[in-house]
Amino acid sequence: MSGALLITVNVHGIGPEAAGAPEAELFGRDAHGRYTYRIGLARVLDALGEYRLPATLFWPAMEAERLPRLVERCLREGHEIASHGRAFEDHAKLGRDEEMSIIGEAHETLRRLSGVAPRGFRAPTGTLSQNTIPILQALGYHYDSSFLDDDSPYALTQYGGHGMVELPVSEGLTDATHFRRRVTQDRAEDLMREELAALLAVDGYACLTFHPRADIGVGRLARLPLIERLARLAEKQGARPGLCGQLAEQIHAGRAANQIENVGD
């Protein structure tokens, strides 16, 4: 894959904690996610606009329902809305019917709030079942972006996603990977720069993942410039920032077909 940089944002508010405990009981450290609602996500969107960077935002339905104006703002400012499940369910633990219902409900919520049916999906906990990809394919999804098993895009035919493509993520290019370990901001940026430069040099594809939270994400003012610095580094290596849906469409159209490995062959 030549020159493809994806900037993605996982819209995590209080959802990860609320999936395991009543929200009314979440205080202190367990309430970090409320930063997303009050200022974090709006601040990330401000930065993306200032830096003129397009991004794909993966929205859990429960977070989108809390922030409908920011869903609208995303589309208005040229970003892409993609699905991040309903409410942080572990899809690997769901039965087929339950998973179909949850994915369908999240799909319809985002369609209702944005006016556009999402065409991309990212598992909210990073886990999928054998049924996930076929369910998404039946709903008309074009891509998934949940797997960590490759450095560049590949077809999902083997997993029941005929016509779908996987846009893999990288833990090393995810802000939460480093901030969760409480490394310094400088060290986190150094690690991400090393990973970004290496991936682009070999495969020409990289997927950056950010969160608008204050604890594990880039919602705070001091961390926001990290987004631009990484994007400019990628541009110096010939990688142009684009939306996940645009890259998936290019692959579907065959413009990059000779540059991806079809694992179903």
Q: Among residues 119, 153, 114, which one has the least CA distance to residue 137?
A: 119
Tell me the pLDDT band of 263, cut-offs 50, 70 and 90.
very low
Q: How far apart are CA 179 and CA 181, in angstroms?
A: 5
Q: How far apart are CA 107 and CA 135, in angstroms?
A: 11
Q: Would the pLDDT of 262 be above 80?
A: no
Residue-wise DSSP of the chain? --SEEEEEEE--SSHHHHTTS-GGG--GGGGTTHHIIIIIHHHHHHHHHHHT---EEEE-HHHHHH-HHHHHHHHHTT-EEEE--SSS--GGGS-HHHHHHHHHHHHHHHHHHHSS---EE--TTS---TTHHHHHHHTT--EE----S-SS-EEEGGGTEEEEEE----GGGBHHHHHTTT--HHHHHHHHHHHHHHHHHHTSEEEEEE---SSSSS-STTTTHHHHHHHHHHHHTTPEEE-HHHHHHHHHTTTTGGGSB-TT-
Note the pLDDT of residue 19: 85
Q: How far apart are CA 9 and CA 168, in angstroms?
A: 14
Q: Could you count the other beta carbons within 10 Å of the beta carbon of residue 183?
A: 14
- The amino acid that residue 103 corresponds to is I
User: How many whole angstroms from its chain centre is CA 178?
Assistant: 17
The pLDDT tens digits for 10-23 are 999 998 888 888 88
Q: Would the pLDDT of 257 be above 70?
A: no
Note the pLDDT of residue 193: 97
Tell me the pLDDT band of 2, cut-offs 50, 70 and 90.
low
Tell me the pLDDT band of 1, cut-offs 50, 70 and 90.
very low
Q: Would the pLDDT of 219 be above 70?
A: yes
Q: What is the mean pLDDT of the chain?
A: 92
Tell me the pLDDT band of 232, cut-offs 50, 70 and 90.
very high
- Rounded mean pLDDT, 132-144: 98
On whether the CB atoms of residues 179 and 217 are closer than 8 A, the answer is: yes
Q: How far apart are CA 175 and CA 195, in angstroms?
A: 12
The pLDDT tens digits for 158-171 are 999 999 999 999 99
Burial 201-221 (b: 16+ CB within 10 A, else e): eebbbbbbbbbbbbebbbbbe
The pLDDT tens digits for 104-121 are 999 999 999 999 999 999
- Rounded mean pLDDT, 93-103: 97
Q: Where are the domains of the chain?
A: 4-259
Q: Would the pLDDT of 39 be above 70?
A: yes
Tell me the pLDDT band of 261, cut-offs 50, 70 and 90.
very low
Fold classification of 4-259 is TIM Barrel (3.20.20)
Note the pLDDT of residue 265: 38
- C-beta pairs of 65-74 under 8 Å, 24+ apart in sequence: 65/109, 65/113, 66/13, 66/37, 67/11, 67/13, 67/37, 67/41, 68/113, 70/41, 70/42, 70/45, 71/110, 71/113, 71/114, 72/113, 72/114, 73/45, 74/45, 74/114
